[in-house]
Structure 1
Amino acid sequence: MPLLFSLFINISMLYLEVAILGEYHIYGGNKISGEISIAGGKNAILPILAAAVLNGNISVIHNCPRISDTYVAINILKAIGCEVKVDKNTIIVDSRNAGNWEVPVEPVREMRSSIIFLGGILGRFKNVRISYPGGCELGARPIDLHLKGIRQLGAEIIEENGFIVCKATKLKGARIDLDFPSVGATENIMLTAALAEGTTIIGNAAKEPEIADMQNFLNAMGANISGAGTDNIIIKGVKNLHEVEYTVMPDRIVAGTYLVAAAITKGNILLNNVVPQHLYPITSKLIEAGCDITIEKNIIYLDAPERLKALERLRTHPHPGFPECWKGKYIYKK
């Protein structure tokens, strides 16, 4: 199997060897230094691709990360009847002829975050049948908040044999207060409510930048949504959406990972195509650890000291706190 990913960066003297059996041999002790442009966010592109179902039209999406999860999402779009073309980092989705509201089992079990298609398909067709993430309906389920919110919008939900079936004669806006600021639940409710009658207010909404990115994408196709990034998101339902061209935000987790990698190896790095304010929770801690950081527009430069300072305290927390590592397959395709 060929090497499936490239660091896209000049890594001074750092040697990585991929063995035939899939092992990585890393010979450390050298600085990570260089310049790199950050690709589009994994956790931004997936809800945006789900949202492309809603307009029943053409969506041209730029700066898409070429990773396995993106291709799984593309397969879901094709399975429900969308035409999809990929040109390097641009994805063109034509959802005009989409009509199948049953999501295949395989991609849902391959990628747990495929549950985000629940809201997009339900919002468009008023019906959706999708497997539980992982195919299991037993025990505590992180999608309970998704289902609770969608019920409040008027959908009937039947849970049977590892599947979720949602049906709605009419979707109508409601006040929905989340028990926890769940990113996925916030996004699924936004997608379901975009074409619903009336106004939906999501209280205790998640504040991640990827939610604001999806809001901007939906608004660019004619939706009326405000408040993303705050505790309350307001969705005023519209009757129709139109074609759209949009550029996905850069991946803040990937950018933060590169910064930390350079810091711990006493290196220096220049990141292009970043949104600095998305990275403040990370850069503030790196500065506290003794790194010299320069920020200009969409560029961040980090120069690490010979010895990092110990941090008094570091805890992960939902945005705008220090981000935790998100699970996903970052397999870059040539």
Structure 2
Amino acid sequence: MECLVIEGGNKLEGELNISGAKNAALPIVMASLIGEGVSVLDNIPNLRDINNLIKILKSLGAEVEYQNNKLKVNSDSVNKFEISYPLANKMRASYYALGALLARYGQAKTSLPGGCEIGSRPIDLHLKGFEALGASVSIDHGMVNLKADKLTGAKIYLDYPSVGATLNIMMAAVKAEGKTIIENAAREPEIIDLSNYLNVMGAKIKGAGTDIIRIEGVDNLKANDYTIIPDRIEAGTYMMMAAITASDLSINNVLVEHVKPLIAKLIEMGATIEEDVNSIRVIGNNQLNAVDIKTLPYPGFPTDMQAQFMALLTQAKGVSMVVETVFEDRFAHVDELKRMGAKIKIDGRTAMVNNSKLTGAKVKATDLRAGAALILAALVAEGRTVVEDIYHIERGYEDVIAKIQKIGGNITKINC
């Protein structure tokens, strides 16, 4: 087992380049299966989740090459339509294979997906969407089976603006006969990125980024090259890092529009923000104000930044309130932060965060974003922190150790 060892108290300074967005790359890589021929996808981050996804593609028969953040996928050699339990269990995004395989091959089979334990995330909205398009759906011994002789466009209303369901239904609908309308669709930037990629391959999608997406089915998609957007959650994490350590950091390769809710809250706390075309400079200070946040679907405050922001709030003067509305079990990081001296009280989906003096301790990354929160806390804590189960962190943050070392953070990886 590997651990991170972090010595707190260092001021950080310099600049960082943000990697490609994990949450955009995963569905787009799967969508490459729909296009006939070879796609070359650029700005694909080197992450555990991406490497697991490559294993899935290869298990299906696809020819895949990955080097220097470029992923080359030849989908014409795909000859299997089932993802094994060991592969699917490693990552939740394995379910994107359902929409992609259904669109091109009319069949798909996978086990119910794994991933971070942050609450119930059923795929019933995905399956209802596939059924509306004409697919038969069955679940047998934990395996999801899809089959369709023909997909037909339909009007689909999502009970909740689920990002995963929106992405999956978009993929399935691009080759359905006629028009598909997705109402109450998710609006996240990753939705727009998938739409842009599918359109580059020949799909006819309009309205991505709004709550109504219209898709006119086409007969075939041709593989094409595409560059993934920057990761807004990684950018936000380093923005929080500057604020929590009262440091001065410039964060490059970021789409400012994607992190507006974070910018607003940092300014409210008293940090200084300088925006450029594709970069943000964050200057923290030692007198941060307490603020309240409530996680919401985009363009609201992202649930994927809740844990990191809670770590930051431990350094604010006064009492802050955090309300989590997206996932019911996304406070697992609280107990780990408490090990470091954080003063946090939980009542249901609400956490009250008090100004706290943090000290180093042995803690565990319970999920991806919880692990990022522990790194932030450790960088400002007095003494040494050891973070276990760092494979969660490596699922979503490319070169995190090298990036933090570059700006002056005292962080190393050891066998523990």
Asked if TM exceeds 0.5, the reply is yes
> Which residue of the other structure, out of 259, 265, 276, is the alignment partner of 1:285?
265
> 1:38 and 1:144 mapped to 2: Cα distance?
34
> 1:156 and 1:22 mapped to 2: Cα distance?
44
SS at match of 2:127: helix
Of 319-328 and 221-230, more deviation after overlay is shown by 319-328
Report if aligned partners of 1:259, 1:302 keep a CA contact under 8 Å in 2: yes
Shift of 1:325: 2.2
Residues 102-154 of structure 1 show CA distances to partners (whole Å, capped at 9, x for unaligned) of: 1122111111221111100111100011111149xxxx761011101110000
Per the alignment, residue 302 of structure 1 pairs with 282
> 2:144 and 2:236 mapped to 1: Cα distance?
36
1:318-333 map, 5 Å: 318-325=297-304, 328=368, 329-331=392-394, 332=398
Report if aligned partners of 2:39, 2:224 keep a CA contact under 8 Å in 1: yes
SS at match of 2:9: coil
Which residue identity lines up with residue 310 of structure 1 in the other structure?
A: A
Which residue identity lines up with residue 286 of structure 2 in the other structure?
A: E
Per the alignment, residue 243 of structure 2 pairs with 263
> Which residue of the other structure, out of 115, 125, 132, is the alignment partner of 1:152?
132
Which residue identity lines up with residue 29 of structure 1 in the other structure?
A: G
Shift of 1:43: 0.4
> 2:223 and 2:232 mapped to 1: Cα distance?
27
Higher helix proportion (structure 1 or 2):
2
Q: Does 1:212 align with 2:223?
A: no
Residues 42-66 of structure 1 show CA distances to partners (whole Å, capped at 9, x for unaligned) of: 1010000110000121111000010
Report if aligned partners of 1:157, 1:165 keep a CA contact under 8 Å in 2: yes
Report if aligned partners of 2:156, 2:183 keep a CA contact under 8 Å in 1: yes
> 1:309 and 1:32 mapped to 2: Cα distance?
21
Residues 165-211 of structure 1 show CA distances to partners (whole Å, capped at 9, x for unaligned) of: 11111100000000000011001100000111011010000111011
Which residue identity lines up with residue 121 of structure 1 in the other structure?
A: L
Per the alignment, residue 17 of structure 1 pairs with none
Q: Does 1:34 align with 2:38?
A: no
Question: Sequence identity of aligned pairs in percent?
Answer: 46
Which residue identity lines up with residue 323 of structure 1 in the other structure?
A: P
Q: 1:232 to 1:70 in 2, by over 3 A?
A: same
Report if aligned partners of 2:175, 2:217 keep a CA contact under 8 Å in 1: yes
> Which residue of the other structure, out of 66, 69, 74, is the alignment partner of 1:89?
69
Report if aligned partners of 1:272, 1:299 keep a CA contact under 8 Å in 2: yes
> 1:314 and 1:304 mapped to 2: Cα distance?
19
Shift of 1:243: 2.3
Report if aligned partners of 2:32, 2:223 keep a CA contact under 8 Å in 1: no
SS at match of 2:169: helix
Pairwise CA RMSD of aligned residues?
1.8
Per the alignment, residue 44 of structure 1 pairs with 24
Which residue identity lines up with residue 91 of structure 1 in the other structure?
A: L
Which residue identity lines up with residue 84 of structure 2 in the other structure?
A: P
Report if aligned partners of 1:68, 1:330 keep a CA contact under 8 Å in 2: no
SS at match of 2:77: coil
Which segments of 5 or more consecutive residues in structure 2 lack a partner in the other structure? 306-366, 369-391, 403-416
Residues 207-241 of structure 1 show CA distances to partners (whole Å, capped at 9, x for unaligned) of: 11011100011111111111111110111111111
Q: 1:141 to 1:284 in 2, by over 3 A?
A: closer
Report if aligned partners of 1:197, 1:238 keep a CA contact under 8 Å in 2: yes
Report if aligned partners of 1:56, 1:97 keep a CA contact under 8 Å in 2: no
Q: Does 1:273 align with 2:267?
A: no
Report if aligned partners of 1:40, 1:64 keep a CA contact under 8 Å in 2: yes
Per the alignment, residue 339 of structure 2 pairs with none
Report if aligned partners of 1:61, 1:247 keep a CA contact under 8 Å in 2: yes
> 1:41 and 1:210 mapped to 2: Cα distance?
8
> Which residue of the other structure, out of 170, 195, 198, is the alignment partner of 1:190?
170
Q: Does 1:233 align with 2:213?
A: yes
Which residue identity lines up with residue 321 of structure 1 in the other structure?
A: G
SS at match of 1:36: strand
Which residue identity lines up with residue 42 of structure 2 in the other structure?
A: H
> 1:176 and 1:252 mapped to 2: Cα distance?
28
Of 174-183 and 72-81, more deviation after overlay is shown by 72-81
Per the alignment, residue 59 of structure 2 pairs with 79
> 2:38 and 2:281 mapped to 1: Cα distance?
38
TM-score (normalised: structure 1): 0.89
Which residue identity lines up with residue 304 of structure 1 in the other structure?
A: G
Per the alignment, residue 252 of structure 1 pairs with 232
Matched length: 310
SS at match of 1:201: strand
Residues 277-333 of structure 1 show CA distances to partners (whole Å, capped at 9, x for unaligned) of: 00001011101111111111111111112311221x211111111111275444247
> 1:66 and 1:24 mapped to 2: Cα distance?
19
TM-score (normalised: structure 2): 0.72
Which residue identity lines up with residue 302 of structure 2 in the other structure?
A: P
Report if aligned partners of 2:49, 2:91 keep a CA contact under 8 Å in 1: yes
> 1:178 and 1:234 mapped to 2: Cα distance?
14
Per the alignment, residue 315 of structure 1 pairs with 294
SS at match of 1:217: helix
SS at match of 1:320: coil
Which residue identity lines up with residue 179 of structure 1 in the other structure?
A: D
SS at match of 1:228: coil
